[in-house]
Amino acid sequence: MDKAESWLEKTLHYRFHDTDLFHSALTHRSAQGRNNERLEFLGDAVLGFVISEALFGLRPGAPEGDLSKLRASLVKDTSLASLATGLGLGEHLILGSGERKTGGHRRESILADALEALFGAVYLDSGFDTAKAVIETVFAERLDDLPEAGDLRDPKTRLQEWLQARKLSLPDYELVSASGRAHEQTFVVTCTVDALSQTTEGESTSRRRAEQQAARRMLARLDGQPS
């Protein structure tokens, strides 16, 4: 734990009074001992409040719907996992042998849960104000560079609206291939806009994500097209 404690102090300028809390925050349910599921539950609530308060202050004129979209974009698993990876959290996770062998320290859901558990542990260890300061440190860059709420719509929705605004037919998504074992498949999907004779391709671990990627690439290609 000495290595993990040094990492935390260097990265987030925090040292636990109760090292058992820190150990629990880093422990995935696949490992023996008390795991981080309860701390993740608590940390999720603390995180939601801190981000809500920050957005309320940063966007004083924004309606509730826009604030909700912004909060969801900041605290979703992909965002949390990206932040956890940037912090180097995965290197300090305590995993069962099976998870270690399959690269659990890089798994999105495990990283996201561990980061929330860490927030929950800091809250229990030092109170709300300290937990808030740690969360604001982790999210500082993203809070400084908030997108417009309208930009948070998923690529498929934005592409559909782009085409409808120009009275063009909706795109067609076609599954090209699905390869790999049942829980480790890779999907390749095309997005075709017949009216513009344009086709793009997306590839991901789920068909939905592959479609979103193909739509995102189509939007990038259509950027700059006349209205």
* 40 tagged catalytic: no
At residue 161, the pLDDT reads 87
Find tokens 């959290």 and name the residue.
89
At residue 38, the pLDDT reads 98
Structure tokens at 60: 């004083």
Can you tell me the distance from the alpha carbon of 192 to that of 175, in angstroms, rounded to the nearest whole number?
A: 11
Cβ distance 169 to 192 under 8 Å? no
* 116 tagged catalytic: yes
Q: Which ranges of the chain have pLDDT less than 50?
A: 226-227
At residue 183, the pLDDT reads 65
At residue 164, the pLDDT reads 92
Domain boundaries, the chain: 2-147, 155-222
For residue 103, is it left (φ>0), alpha (ψ between -120 and 50) or beta?
Answer: left
Q: Which of 40, 44, 113, 211 is catalytic?
A: 44
Query: Three-class SS of residue 157?
Result: helix
Which class is domain 155-222?
Answer: alpha beta
At residue 78, the pLDDT reads 87
Q: Which CATH number fits domain 2-147: 1.10.1520.10, 3.40.30.10, 1.10.8.350, 3.30.450.20?
A: 1.10.1520.10
- DSSP code for 34: S
Structure tokens at 175: 């599954």
0.85 exceeded by pTM: no
Q: Which of 40, 99, 113, 116 is catalytic?
A: 116
